[in-house]
Chains A and B, each alone.
Chain A
Amino acid sequence: MAINFRDKAYILDGAMGTMLQRSGMSADETSTHFGQNNPDILKGIHKQYIDAGADIIYAATFGINRYKMDELDVSLEEAVKVAMKAAGEARAEAAEEGREVKVALGLGPIGELLEPMGTLSFEDAYETFAQVIRAAVKAGEEGCCCSGCGTECSCAPDLVVIETMTDLYEVKAAVLAVKENSDLPVMVSMTFEQNERTFTGVSLEAMAVTLEGLGVDAMGINCSLGPVEIYPMAQKLRSLTDLPVFAKPNAGLPDPATGEYDITCDQFVAKMSEYIDAGINMLGGCCGTDPGYIKGLSEARDKAACKGQASGEPDASYADEAAESAPRVLKVCSGNKVVTVDHVTVIGERINPTGKKRLKQALLDEDYDYILTQAIEQIDAGAEILDVNVGVPSLDDVKILPLVVKKLQAITDLPLQIDSSNPAAIEAALRVYNGKAIVNSVNGEEKVMDAILPIVKKYGAAVVGLTLDENGIPATAEGRFAIAERILDKAMEYGIPKEDVIIDCLTLTVSAQQKEAAETLKAVKMVKEQLGLRTALGVSNISFGLPARILVNRTFLTLAMENGLDLPIINPNDEDMMASILAYNVLKNVDENSVKYIERYADAEIGAAALKKSSAGQQDAAAGSSADAMTDGGGSHDIFYCIEKGMKADTVAAVETLLADKDEMAVVNEYLIPALDRVGKGFEKGTIFLPQMLQAAGAAQAGFEVIKDRLSAGDKEVVSLGEVVIATVKGDIHDIGKNIVKVIMENYGYKMIDLGRDVPKEEIVQVVKEKGIKLVGLSALMTTTLKSMEETIEAIKNEAPDCKVMVGGAVLTADYAAQIGADHYCKDAMKSVEAAKEVFNG
């Protein structure tokens, strides 16, 4: 059902809401509700737009979805059919007059925000859109819908338009829903503010990169602003993609008090004519526009066609121009951030349990905060992309990899590299990823490529190809180059753009295969120069088995960069490696005026000890660390003082000193816990305030990290005082109080299973039963969610009578807590520690 959007300049329709208001809709009624009750008015408006010259009309399905059922008096299926029928009849009547008009199924924002901003899951959003699409397809298949009208009409959509979107993640759910539930072409337009970002922070570039990958047919901008404000953005979007671009501006800007738009039809049309000249070949109007505006656009199009501008293949010429001016460069992105790989781009390698016991344990314990901390450390150190690998043999990576991806994208906007060899895990992770990711990796084996490349194509990712195959790693550069060529050919066969193929020529251990280090470097150079591809290398493997590994690592890294390495996969916390890259960028005239180098190393001291970052370079890295820097780090205070004052670095130093002659648990029981108790008592008395207590907890936590590292290095388990499930109840999304309790209780040695916020009672009960939990902590901050808390307690008591429940939250009182069946009421975090002591120590 392909539509050639390039064959001419298309005229789209104008506002529906504005027209409905003029047809008598009251200001308090929704367009959906009014339209559903007045299908003849809908049809009439469609016809007016067609008469004005629209080639594509949007059916009034924009606001129909399962989250807005309160706007409907009928089922979703019926509502979709009513709207499609109104547009379908208008299309049929136009056909009788010899006009070919296309009907688009319109999809607007669901109205509930997706995670992590809101509570709607990606899967739920997908299904919400899929339901509407299936309803439209079904309505179309049922054939002639208006019995007796005597025309060849149908409710079937010719295409789908996803419009007025602000969240790229929601767009992705909608696009996948279209592609997996129909074979209809799909156009997407998002709505931007004057700073060229959507409300959720999506840039034009992130939109272009992601949507090209997902295989949409056209992209554009609609609503929010008028043609004058949107014009520069439309031009920019035109330069960012080879796909057809469309625009549907408002009739200027609204008066905040009256809602009236501020430009006339003539002004609108005059400005829009410039769009045609700029190669934007589909034009319509959004809020405030009417058939007059569309008629004007249609005439402007016809005028331009006479001059030869808007007919034939306007886009093709623009695409050619773009191709000539700049070859396409690899770009990856998250929802809010695009990384263009036109410089040495560091991929942080730390989220990979291979050889890292502490991370492996964290994955097994579902201690995701540890993983997130690893991510933030790497971001602060200068990583631009994060590799994510959860390969622990006993773990189900199809479940865990997407989960970790979701958690990471809640706290960072760095693009991710999905690292797995399991196609199912890769697909699960790519599906929930917001943006354009990298897949690490495929290799030259046919069956590996056939399993993974179609997934890479479907989700519009980039892919790393390892130069090995069923025969192993070729010893020579030429052998590896041959595999790289094969991977590129295969990727392109699957429709993956050339610039999205990255080759990893494989670093071998120089102490074992000394001759081959040079082969790796040579292969990198060949791939870069002869195939024109980006290259990646895991670097540190080179020095395995040698002393002073860093010297070998950084020298190899420098050689590799000189030979064309674009994407070193390294530990960015290793300052020597980062320093080599920064110095390289100075020498290659990439870091202009050495700005970045000087910023990072102006005050650096290079002594016998390892190179350290200067304090200037850390300023914007660790938020809130400035206070530490003033007093902390001297290492001369006793541990009680350090913890009470929240001095992280000194606490770590003190713990390390104590560990010289005490075992780990003695340090915990004789120092860390008593120090926390002292702080807790101060808090009770009111001499220590919440932020100070949390600072103390943060310092103690840093001390515990030292202990945990030592224990997992010695294959010893951290002794837990008990497992506690903690959650904010269903319906509530306040979680800061719950997180405070979590931090404090963790410090006291309890293993906290944090189920998050808005947690259904069923999920809590399931975890309690599965793990034999003895204590659950519930939080609710609103009077409206106390009911939900009560139901959760009831469910726990029914299913697991031995499990105790403690509750907390602003609107709770001790009386009310008792009334809803809680065993403990905790007015603050210290009280939850007391409750736990009672439960676990009796």
Chain B
Amino acid sequence: MNIEITRSIDREAWLKALHAKGSADSRLAEQMDEAERLLKEAARPKAVYRPVEISTILKDDDPDNSGKEPAGVSLSIKKHLEGCNRAVLMAVTLGVGVDQLLRKTQVTDMALAVILDTGASVLIEQLADDFQEEIVKKLDASDQNDTFMTPRFSPGYGDWPITEQARIVRLLEGQRQIGLNVTKDSLMIPRKSITAVIGIADHPVKGCLATCDECVLRDKCLLKKEGKFCGDKL
């Protein structure tokens, strides 16, 4: 389904992504405004979700996988979904227009390209946040019991292999529903897209985001160096 961009791109998160400390000077601020205008013009955001059984995520009884190599068992996703009755798969994408904008801008103006690229990343996170809230509302309306949700958890995060991306997108019919594709190397196209799983329960659940020790970025993470954790809101 099509989704709307209802708020402007968060400047604080955007500047952080640009590694620009503090505030933007007037020139950068102006370019970010221009970048936001271009992004909103090029984006055609879409989203899809689907409730599934926990076992589908954990692949305990995936009939399609019979006789084939099992995917790596992920402890962190298991922990995250602990105590949940079901799960929801979701995907959001900005669409191929943003990819084309980024390709073109990289030829003409690399500085603007970097601003656009980081802005698009912040924007898709925001859209994922908003869409997740939409899902909560819809579940509220349809099912009185299961109304509690964990935060999002995405393939490639913690020790959940990124190779699971293709399966998640297939389960969501991503290609047919929102034009979301996965390359054989597990990368999503359009580039600015997010897939995630959310646990659903009949009691409050927090989920369990991967710890820094489980994380593939543990040696490199800038947040960790600053003593922060990515699971905390900015």
Contacts and interface: CB of A to CB of B under 8 A. Distances in A.
Interface in B37-65: 38, 48-51, 56, 62-64
Interface string B62-103: 111000100000000000000000000000000111011011
A411 interface: yes
A369 interface: yes
Contacts of A627: 27, 30-31, 34
B85 to A, nearest CB: 15
A732 B99 contact: no
Contacts of A812: 220
A743 B56 CA distance: 46
A736 B99 contact: no
A691 B115 contact: yes
B29 to A, nearest CB: 9
B63 A117 contact: no
Interface stretch (A238-246, A264-272, A502-510, A694-702): A694-702
A392 to B, nearest CB: 21
B181 A740 contact: no
A690 B27 contact: no
Contact of A411 (B107, B176, B179, B217): B107
Interface stretch (A26-34, A435-443, A573-581): A26-34
Nearest to B105: A623
Interface stretch (A107-115, A311-319, A475-483): A107-115
B207 to A, nearest CB: 21
Contact of A67 (B102, B103, B156, B184): B184
A410 B107 CA distance: 11
Interface string B155-178: 010000011000000110001101
A146 interface: no
Nearest to A258: B51
A201 B30 CA distance: 29
Nearest to B108: A376
Nearest to B88: A257
A729 B106 CA distance: 19
Most chain A beta carbons < 10 A, residue from B63, B111, B170: B111
A813 interface: yes
A200 interface: yes
A117 B96 contact: yes
A199 B113 contact: no
A623 B104 CA distance: 10
A196 B131 CA distance: 24
Contacts of A113: 181, 183, 189
Contacts of B142: 257
A28 B1 contact: no
Contacts of A777: none
Interface stretch (B18-26, B146-154, B226-234): B18-26
Contacts of B20: 689-691
Interface in B180-208: 181, 183-187, 189-191
Nearest to B109: A624
A694 B114 CA distance: 9
A740 B110 contact: yes
Contact of A732 (B68, B103, B110, B185): B185
Interface residues of A, number: 72
B28 interface: yes
B95 A733 contact: no
Contact of A112 (B49, B117, B171, B183): B183
A646 B111 contact: yes
Given A256-B49, A813-B219, A784 B19 contact: no
B112 interface: yes
Contact of B1 (A164, A256, A623, A695): A256
Given A113-B189, A256-B49, A199 B103 contact: no
Nearest to A647: B27
Contact of B63 (A29, A198, A733, A785): A29
B224 interface: no
B222 to A, nearest CB: 10
Contacts of A199: 95-96, 178-179
Contacts of A740: 110, 114
A747 B207 CA distance: 49
Contacts of A810: 217, 220
Contact of B108 (A198, A373, A410, A731): A373
Contacts of B179: 166, 198-200
Contacts of B217: 783, 810-811
14 contacts: A33-B64, A109-B175, A111-B181, A112-B181, A112-B184, A376-B107, A413-B100, A623-B34, A627-B31, A690-B114, A692-B111, A740-B114, A743-B110, A784-B162
- What 3 pairs across the A-B complex have the smallest Cβ distances? A199-B179, A694-B111, A689-B20
Given A29-B64, A372-B107, A694-B114, 17 more contacts: A112-B183, A200-B96, A256-B49, A257-B50, A257-B51, A259-B50, A369-B107, A623-B34, A623-B109, A627-B27, A627-B30, A689-B19, A692-B111, A732-B187, A736-B102, A739-B113, A810-B220
Interface of B: 1-2, 18-21, 27-28, 30-31, 34-35, 38, 48-51, 56, 62-64, 68, 95-97, 99-100, 102-115, 117, 138, 142, 156, 162-163, 170-171, 175-176, 178-179, 181, 183-187, 189-191, 216-217, 219-220
Interface of A: 26, 28-30, 33, 67, 70, 109, 111-113, 116-119, 164, 166, 191, 193, 198-201, 223-224, 256-257, 259, 369, 372-373, 376, 410-413, 622-624, 626-627, 630, 645-646, 686, 689-692, 694-695, 697-698, 731-733, 735-736, 739-740, 743, 758, 782-785, 810-813, 815-816
